[in-house]
Structure 1
Amino acid sequence: MQRIRLRYAKRGPLRFTSHRDFARAFERALRRAGAPIAFSQGFTPHPKISYASAAPTGVGSEAEYLEIGLQAPVDPAQLRAALDAALSPGLDVLDAVVAPEGGGGSLADRIDASRWLIELPMIEPEIARQAVEAFLAADEVLVERMTKQGKRTFDARNPVAFFAVTKESGAPSGANAAPCAIIDLVVRQVTPAVRPDDVLSGLRVVAGLEPPVPPRVTRLAQGSLTPRGEIVDPLDADREDAPIGGR
């Protein structure tokens, strides 16, 4: 009877939650919240939940999306609050809207790019800037990654729409503080998907940049990429029918 689209975040230590772990936690949260979830037909009914482009394990995110089907209409703001309260802190439900009855396309149809923030501790911003410039100057940056089909080689350069070291980079306060380069990255969605770790592999290929400690990666947004380089939230098209506030 009703479809609700949600945006949620993975923060702090909960960024290490795998997609499967989150799916189990979310189904439990639906039961605790008393949501009238709809189920598929057949011998093994499953709750009607569809996920859109989940972030890799170990990556934080402020922009994860899913859609649920309900047997009865609910107020999206109340559902958002109930689900948020039922999930562990760090798995935070930020927004909810009612999906249009007449279609309007799936969430996946509205996502063609993601914006990422990559923190590189122990890397001087100027060194990172030179590596980024070398990456952008290349016509092609071939990297390897193990996939379900085996080891694949693909171009990490072409899907990159924006790549820069931010002004926030530098050493934190304190005389002995270590430097930290912070990178702003926008990647178009392609097949196979190019992820931030692939782009970091590309920096190693073109400039020999090898972070001494694991980088910290956060997805800031995902949606449709405009000609001006902005990313449109996939829930925005539904807000006229079901405006709601997040926290």
Structure 2
Amino acid sequence: MARQRTPDGPPPPPAVQKLRIRYAKRGRLRFSSTRDFSRALERALRRAGVPMAFSAGFHPHPLISYANAAPTGTASEAEYFEIRVTERVDPEAVREALDEALPRGLDVVEVVEAGPGALADRLEASEWELRLRGSTPEDLAPVVAGYLAASRAEATRTFKSGPRTFDTREAVTDLRVAGVDEAGCAILRMVVRHTTPSVRPDDILTALHAVTGFVPPVPPLVTRLAQGPLREDRAGVADPLAADREAVGPEG
């Protein structure tokens, strides 16, 4: 029997603190993929001097956990990841250093010390905004009414296993026209529960076409405004980091 190899040298220093980080994807950086961001983040962590904890083994990697990333091409004000560090650090100092080290458009909004519980369990739903150029609120009102009246609204998307048709209606807890922006574009807001398979804004646009015949004149600008626990009124989401601030307290 072959002798099992073990890595040479001492084990990596243990993690002593976990941080939860909210960042935004803005402007042209909305086209960055999850892989693009992970590469940029690892470089930024090194430049910022964050004392990262690493996995053990022959190919150690920094202990970073990503949570429910937005699709490539969509902007977001509420993306999250977690890191583990080998020395206790000031979360605000990490925020400033990491924000400075990342490219403009990948902006670190908040860093908190993690309290008890899993972050992924709190990310129950997302609130999305679609800016529809060439459409008016009057155009969208009957479209929204028709979708909300439907018991089922299907979309088809291609997965690794092939095309799959699924219902979008059950995941949508709120859909409304929210006026117009400064350029006169109609604004559509929606709250979507995180399901399997995930229901994305483009899936809902596909379902809107299937149910009502609506097609946006121009592809919309899509932004995730928030993600977190679904509120009791099902018309928005709560802050997923609130429990961490409460658990750790103002003095850390």
Regarding TM over 0.5, the answer is yes
Letter in 2 for 1:131: V
Corresponding position: 1:238 with 2:249: no
Structure 1 pair 243–211 and aligned structure 2 pair: CA distance change class (3 A):
farther
**Number of the residue aligned with 1:151:** 163
CA–CA distance in structure 2, aligned partners of residues 22 and 139 of structure 1:
38
CA–CA distance in structure 2, aligned partners of residues 70 and 171 of structure 1:
43
2:202 corresponds, among 190, 197, 206, to: 197
Give 1:46 deviation, angstroms.
Answer: 1.0
Structure 1 pair 165–82 and aligned structure 2 pair: CA distance change class (3 A):
same
CA–CA distance in structure 2, aligned partners of residues 206 and 129 of structure 1:
14
SS in 1 for 2:170: coil
**Number of the residue aligned with 2:72:** 57
**Number of the residue aligned with 1:206:** 211
2:108 corresponds, among 93, 96, 102, to: 93
**Number of the residue aligned with 1:108:** 120
CA–CA distance in structure 1, aligned partners of residues 45 and 249 of structure 2:
20
2:144 corresponds, among 124, 129, 132, to: 132
CA–CA distance in structure 2, aligned partners of residues 188 and 221 of structure 1:
12
CA–CA distance in structure 2, aligned partners of residues 4 and 106 of structure 1:
12
CA–CA distance in structure 1, aligned partners of residues 141 and 161 of structure 2:
34
Mark the runs of 5 or more structure 2 residues left unpaired by the alignment.
Answer: 1-15
Give 1:234 deviation, angstroms.
Answer: 1.2
CA–CA distance in structure 1, aligned partners of residues 128 and 71 of structure 2:
12
SS in 1 for 2:229: strand
Give 1:124 deviation, angstroms.
Answer: 2.3
Letter in 2 for 1:238: D
Corresponding position: 1:221 with 2:226: yes
CA–CA distance in structure 1, aligned partners of residues 84 and 216 of structure 2:
43
CA–CA distance in structure 1, aligned partners of residues 110 and 188 of structure 2:
27
**Number of the residue aligned with 2:8:** none
Aligned residues: 234
> Percent identity at matched positions?
55
CA–CA distance in structure 2, aligned partners of residues 69 and 148 of structure 1:
32
SS in 1 for 2:240: coil
* TM-score, structure 2 normalization: 0.90
CA–CA distance in structure 2, aligned partners of residues 170 and 61 of structure 1:
17
Give 1:158 deviation, angstroms.
Answer: 0.6
1:79 corresponds, among 85, 88, 94, to: 94
Give 1:212 deviation, angstroms.
Answer: 2.2
Bigger shift: residues 196-205 or 221-230: 221-230
Letter in 2 for 1:193: S
SS in 2 for 1:183: strand
Tell which structure's C-alpha radius of gyration is larger: 2
**Number of the residue aligned with 1:184:** 189
CA–CA distance in structure 2, aligned partners of residues 243 and 222 of structure 1:
23
Give 1:228 deviation, angstroms.
Answer: 2.2
CA–CA distance in structure 2, aligned partners of residues 243 and 153 of structure 1:
48
SS in 1 for 2:169: coil
1:163-182 to 2 correspondence within 5 Å?
Answer: 163-167=175-179, 169=180, 172=183, 179-182=184-187
Give 1:242 deviation, angstroms.
Answer: 4.9
CA–CA distance in structure 1, aligned partners of residues 218 and 114 of structure 2:
42
Bigger shift: residues 27-36 or 142-151: 142-151
Give 1:243 deviation, angstroms.
Answer: 4.2
* TM-score, structure 1 normalization: 0.91
Corresponding position: 1:34 with 2:49: yes
Native 8 Å contact 1:97 1:243 kept in 2: no
SS in 2 for 1:129: helix
Native 8 Å contact 1:125 1:170 kept in 2: no
Mark the runs of 5 or more structure 1 residues left unpaired by the alignment.
Answer: 173-178
Give 1:42 deviation, angstroms.
Answer: 1.2
Give 1:171 deviation, angstroms.
Answer: 7.6
CA–CA distance in structure 1, aligned partners of residues 138 and 157 of structure 2:
28
